[in-house]
C-alpha cells in the first residue's frame, strides 16, 4: 500500500478546486528506511510498515492502495470494513472472485470506491468521450486500441512480480490490457463476446536475486507477456485490442481509433495533448483529420482550467492529479466517482473471458 490520506489531498495545485482542507497522514511500505525517507521528502506526518495500522486508524479517512495486485483484495476489504474510502490501483484484483468480493464489501460499507485508471482523465480522452456522447461520430462501428512497450524485448530482463501468476494475475494481459479495456468500456460500451490469444515469447528469465549475487539462474515466466483479442461490443461495435512489451522504440504508447458513420477519432499517448477528428460533413475539398489541441480553450475543454494559460501543454503526471482530485471531492460530497469497483469487476470479467477464450480456442461470452 503506497499512501493513506486524512481528509483530502494536499499536493494538487492551489487553483485545483478541492472541496476540503487536507492532511497527508501516513505513508506505508515494507522497507522502514525507504518509507521514512519518503515521508520526509513528500511531507507525510507519519510512516508505517504494517498496512493494518493504516486501515485501522481512526485518524485516516482515505486509503490509496498502490501495492502489487495480489495484495489488493485483502487490503481493500479491510479498509472499507473500517469505514475508509478507497482508491485502488489497477490491476484491480487477481481474478473475478476477488473483484466481486471487493465490490460487495465496498457497497456494504457505503464508502466511496474508485479504481485508478488514470487514462480516463487525459483531457483528449475526456473530450473524445464528450464528442461521442454528443453524436459527433454517429453510429460507432469500430474500436481499435494498442498498448505497446519495449520493457521485455531484451530476453535478459530479469524475472519480476509482473511475470508471476501469483502476484500479477495474468501478466501483461491484466497489467496493461486492463487499461485499454477500461478505455473501450468508457468511450464506447460494454464488451459482450471475445476471441483472445495470449502468448509468452520468452518462457524463462534470469532471477534478479541471483544476478545481484553474481550468478545466473533462470526462473519460469508463468503469465502471458503479450496478448491480443477481437471483441464484440454493445450496439454491434467490433473491437480489436493488442498489448505487448516487445515493441522496440515504444516506451509507453497507447493508440486508439474509433470509427463511426459521421467521422473518426484518433489518439496517441505519445502526443497526448492532441486529438484527431475526421468529420464526414466537412466540405469535400477540405476533408481530412483536424488536429485539436485539447489545452487551447480554458473552461471549455476538460480539465484545462485547472492548469496553465490556454495552449500550454500538460503531461502524464497531471492525469493522476485529476484522478485523485476527483476522488477526494467525491469523498467530501459522498458521491460515486468513476471508475468504481463495479468498473473494476467488469474489466476483470473481460480479462477472464479473453483468457478463457485463448485457452479454449473459441469465442467466449463476457459474464454479466
Residue 113, beta-bridge partner list: 86
pLDDT given at position 299:
82
Report the alpha-carbon distance of residue 225 to residue 243 in Å, rounded: 9
Helix or strand holding residue 65 (H, E) = strand 62-65
**pLDDT band at residue 17 under the 50/70/90 scheme:** low
Residue 183's φ and ψ, nearest 5 degrees, are -65, -40
Report the alpha-carbon distance of residue 23 to residue 330 in Å, rounded: 17
pLDDT given at position 306:
87
**If DSSP codes are grouped into helix, strand and coil, which group holds residue 259?**
strand
Nearest CA among 256, 267, 309 for reference residue 123: 267
Residue 305's φ and ψ, nearest 5 degrees, are -65, -15
Query: Can you read off the three cell numbers belonging to residue 263?
Result: 467521422
Domain ranges of the chain: 3-117, 120-337+347-360
Is the CB of residue 115 less than 8 Å from the CB of residue 73?
no
The set of residues, in sequence order, having a beta carbon less than 8 Å from that of 141 and lying 6+ positions away, is 237, 238, 259, 260, 261
Tell me what the mean pLDDT of segment 310-329 comes to. 95
Class of domain 3-117 (CATH, top level): alpha beta
Radius of gyration of the chain (CA): 21
Tell me what the mean pLDDT of segment 206-227 comes to. 90
Residue 62, beta-bridge partner list: 5, 85
Is the CB of residue 326 less than 8 Å from the CB of residue 121?
yes
Report the alpha-carbon distance of residue 320 to residue 272 in Å, rounded: 14
Report the alpha-carbon distance of residue 160 to residue 101 in Å, rounded: 27
pLDDT given at position 23:
87
Per-residue pLDDT tens for 59-109? 999 999 999 999 999 999 999 999 999 999 999 999 999 999 999 999 999
CATH fold of 120-337+347-360, please? Dihydrodipicolinate Reductase; domain 2 (3.30.360)
- Percent of the chain predicted with pLDDT > 90: 88
Report the alpha-carbon distance of residue 221 to residue 198 in Å, rounded: 13
pLDDT given at position 216:
87
Report the alpha-carbon distance of residue 155 to residue 219 in Å, rounded: 12
- Whether residue 91 has a cis bond before it, omega within 30° of 0: yes
Over the range 23-46, which residues count as b (16 or more CB within 10 Å of their CB) and which as e? bbbbbbbeeeeebbebbeeeebeb
In the predicted model, is pLDDT for residue 10 greater than 60? no
Tell me what the mean pLDDT of segment 284-310 comes to. 91
Query: Can you read off the three cell numbers belonging to residue 283?
Result: 466540405
Q: Kindly report whether the global pTM for this prediction surpasses the value 0.85.
A: yes
Report the alpha-carbon distance of residue 36 to residue 46 in Å, rounded: 8
Per-residue pLDDT tens for 128-177? 999 999 999 999 999 999 999 999 999 999 999 999 999 999 999 999 99
Report the alpha-carbon distance of residue 126 to residue 367 in Å, rounded: 27
Nearest CA among 264, 259, 284, 260 for reference residue 276: 264
- Percent of the chain predicted with pLDDT > 70: 95
What's 275-329 look like in SS3?
A: EEEEECCCCHHHCCCEEEECCCCCCCCCCHHHCCCCCCCCCHHHHHHHHHHHHHH
Amino acid at each position: 500500500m503506497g499512501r493513506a490520506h486524512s481528509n483530502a489531498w494536499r499536493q494538487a495545485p492551489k487553483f485545483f478546486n478541492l472541496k476540503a482542507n487536507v492532511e497527508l497522514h501516513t505513508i506505508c511500505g515494507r522497507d522502514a528506511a525507504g518509507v521514512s525517507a519518503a515521508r520526509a521528502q513528500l511531507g507525510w506526518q507519519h510512516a508505517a510498515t504494517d498496512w493494518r495500522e493504516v486501515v485501522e486508524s481512526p485518524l485516516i479517512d482515505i486509503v490509496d492502495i498502490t501495492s502489487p495486485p495480489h495484495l489488493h483484495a485483502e487490503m481493500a476489504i479491510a479498509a472499507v470494513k473500517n469505514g475508509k474510502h478507497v482508491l485502488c490501483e489497477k490491476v484491480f484484483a487477481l481474478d473475478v472472485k476477488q473483484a466481486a468480493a471487493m465490490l460487495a464489501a465496498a457497497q456494504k460499507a457505503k464508502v466511496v470506491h474508485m479504481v485508478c485508471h488514470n487514462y480516463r482523465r487525459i483531457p483528449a480522452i475526456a473530450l473524445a468521450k464528450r464528442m461521442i456522447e454528443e453524436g459527433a461520430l454517429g453510429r460507432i462501428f469500430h474500436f481499435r486500441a494498442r498498448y505497446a512497450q519495449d520493457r521485455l524485448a531484451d530476453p535478459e530482463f530479469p524475472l519480476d512480480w509482473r511475470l508471476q501468476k501469483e502476484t500479477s494475475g495474468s501478466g501483461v494481459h491484466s497489467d496493461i490490457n486492463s487499461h485499454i479495456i477500461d478505455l473501450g468500456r468508457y468511450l464506447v460500451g460494454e464488451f459482450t463476446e471475445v476471441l483472445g490469444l495470449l502468448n509468452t515469447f520468452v518462457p524463462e528469465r534470469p532471477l534478479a536475486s541471483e544476478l545481484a549475487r553474481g550468478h545466473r539462474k533462470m526462473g519460469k515466466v508463468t503469465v502471458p507477456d503479450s496478448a491480443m483479442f477481437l471483441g464484440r461490443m454493445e450496439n454491434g461495435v467490433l473491437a480489436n485490442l493488442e498489448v505487448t512489451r516487445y515493441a522496440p522504440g515504444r516506451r509507453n504508447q497507447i493508440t486508439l481509433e474509433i470509427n463511426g458513420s459521421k467521422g473518426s477519432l484518433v489518439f496517441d499517448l505519445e502526443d497526448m495533448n492532441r486529438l484527431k477528428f475526421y468529420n464526414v460533413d466537412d466540405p469535400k475539398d477540405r476533408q481530412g483529420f483536424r488536429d485539436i489541441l485539447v489545452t487551447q480553450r480554458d473552461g471549455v475543454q476538460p480539465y484545462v482550467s485547472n492548469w496553465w494559460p490556454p495552449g500550454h501543454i500538460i503531461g502524464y503526471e497531471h492525469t493522476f492529479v485529476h484522478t485523485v482530485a476527483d476522488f477526494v471531492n467525491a469523498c467530501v460530497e459522498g458521491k460515486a466517482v468513476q471508475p468504481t469497483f463495479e468498473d473494476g469487476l467488469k474489466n476483470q470479467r473481460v480479462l477472464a473471458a479473453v483468457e478463457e477464450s485463448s485457452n479454449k480456442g473459441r469465442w467466449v461470452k463476457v459474464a454479466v
